[in-house]
Structure 1
Amino acid sequence: MNSATILAPVRSHVHRARTVEAFAAILDPDVNLAIWERPSMPSVGSLDGFGTIQMTAPVDRAHAALIDAFAQQPPAAWHADIAADMAALAQSFAAIMNLSHVVIRLECVVGNACKRWHADYVSVRLICTYRGSGTQWIKRSVETADAPAVETQRSLALGAVGLFKGRILAGQQAIVHRSPPIAGTGEERLLLVIDGPPPEETAALWERAMQRG
């Protein structure tokens, strides 16, 4: 047996865990996707008349700002639980990324929001789907350091939370992903995206990136 056949497998670029501590792995230079596989999440009722919520808020005021934003939507019993969950995710994300403010977007998606494979021009983006199909991403795996990479399509589970490392931090190694194409299926997705505020020099690129998820 030669040395090439006993090489240890190359480390995965994806980290999964069943607790929120999964988020810390995104700080590892070799990790470009950290996934918290939550055992449960708040349930979501009817999305009739639901409009996009988008805001920039101080982390310590995010919950209050979300309560105010949900108050502008058609009343629904599930709003309070989702607002609390979003605020908790924003706090965890901000703690990992050392942020004082977060940019939050929650929207109902019924078409092909961004069906092309891409990597976002952000540092790290939090994505969670509260209803419908989860964001799809590409897993790259190799058996040994000199083997060609195998790319496999994967999807976030409903309610799972992913931290997707973008081009600002990872360059060409940024995680490649897309919104699942659902146009014409009648499916509704409720998608949460959380980012940090953009640096001034990347604001224009970030504004375009915010429309993806």
Structure 2
Amino acid sequence: MNALAPLSAQVKPTEPLHRRAAINSDANVLPQIYNENINIAVWQRNLESTLTEAVNTLINTNALKPLELALSPDNAFDQLIKALKPTEQNYNEAKALCEDIALLIEMFCCLFDLKRAGLRLKVLNNPMCPRFHVDKIPCRLVATYQGVATQWLNHSDVDRSKLGAGNLGKPDEESGLFTSTSHINQLNQGDIALLKGEYWDENEGAGLVHRSPPVAANEQRLLLTLDFI
């Protein structure tokens, strides 16, 4: 797959209207995050069965440990393999996962004209951020390799005064943050999503509202995030 066009190749629209999602089964949907009316761009990707099986094997054999790394496209694969320290028995599975992550790092860095990306990879048994919130960052890539994926709300469905302390201690479903649970959108396993945050230029007050999904008992998620450095 060819890497996506860098920042310098993108053209911003001149008529900001409202914030909405850009969703497609083609990776070329991702550069739409540069549209000021878009606050989430989703590449609806179907994971190949070999990658899914590799991830399942790594999780079931406890071969994955939490990783926090700063990686460049040039060294991503080598550094990931070095950090995961696969055994001879699970090397092929680790290789498949690391190759996929390295590709996403290449795409992410190319798209945003970055030399490095900040990676977090973690197996989760509980929601990492269970309340709806916005991130004070420019943009983040999220991908769930196994398990339930990130939930998010359309900008038009959110009463932002109910975020944080504005919820008065009430659960999201009762605080008035949104009026119906039918407004909750959810990514799918394998999807690649770019979530625009509050620190994106001229996006204050419009960062994507999202949360980690509830995780059923005995269920595990493998979550990848990439951030600007």
Is 1:68–2:82 an aligned residue pair? Answer: yes
Tell me if the contact between 1:45 and 1:78 (Cα under 8 Å) persists in the aligned partners.
no
Q: Which of 40, 43, 48 is residue 47 of structure 2 equivalent to? A: 40
Task: Report how far residue 11 of structure 1 moved.
Answer: 6.3
1:73 & 1:56 partners in 2: Cα distance?
23
Is 1:53–2:67 an aligned residue pair? Answer: yes
Tell me if the contact between 1:37 and 1:160 (Cα under 8 Å) persists in the aligned partners.
yes
2:18 & 2:73 partners in 1: Cα distance?
33
> Which amino acid in the other structure matches residue 213 of structure 2?
P
> Which amino acid in the other structure matches residue 187 of structure 1?
E
Work out the number of aligned pairs and report it.
181
Tell me if the contact between 2:86 and 2:94 (Cα under 8 Å) persists in the aligned partners.
no
Question: What is the CA RMSD across the aligned residues, in angstroms?
Answer: 2.1
Structure-2 residue corresponding to 1:157: 188
Structure-2 residue corresponding to 1:108: 123
Partner deviation per Cα, 1:107-152 (whole Å, 9 max, x = no partner): 000012110111111111000000000011112458xxxxxx9771
The 1:160/1:124 distance shift into structure 2, 3 A limit, reads same
1:150 & 1:13 partners in 2: Cα distance?
18
Tell me if the contact between 1:16 and 1:36 (Cα under 8 Å) persists in the aligned partners.
yes
Structure-1 residue corresponding to 2:171: none
Structure-2 residue corresponding to 1:4: none
2:224 & 2:195 partners in 1: Cα distance?
13
Is 1:185–2:217 an aligned residue pair? Answer: yes
Tell me if the contact between 2:23 and 2:44 (Cα under 8 Å) persists in the aligned partners.
yes
1:174 & 1:54 partners in 2: Cα distance?
24
| TM-score when normalising by structure 1 | 0.78
2:72 & 2:155 partners in 1: Cα distance?
36
The 1:20/1:161 distance shift into structure 2, 3 A limit, reads same
SS of residue in 1 equivalent to 2:75: helix
> Which amino acid in the other structure matches residue 113 of structure 1?
M
| Percentage of pairs with the same residue | 27
1:11 & 1:171 partners in 2: Cα distance?
13
> Which amino acid in the other structure matches residue 71 of structure 2?
A
Tell me if the contact between 1:38 and 1:160 (Cα under 8 Å) persists in the aligned partners.
yes
Partner deviation per Cα, 1:154-178 (whole Å, 9 max, x = no partner): 1111100000001101211000101
Partner deviation per Cα, 1:187-212 (whole Å, 9 max, x = no partner): 10000000111xxxxxxxxxxxxxxx
| TM-score when normalising by structure 2 | 0.73
2:88 & 2:121 partners in 1: Cα distance?
15
| Runs of 5+ unmatched residues, structure 2 | 1-16, 158-177
| Runs of 5+ unmatched residues, structure 1 | 1-9, 143-148, 198-213
1:75 & 1:133 partners in 2: Cα distance?
28
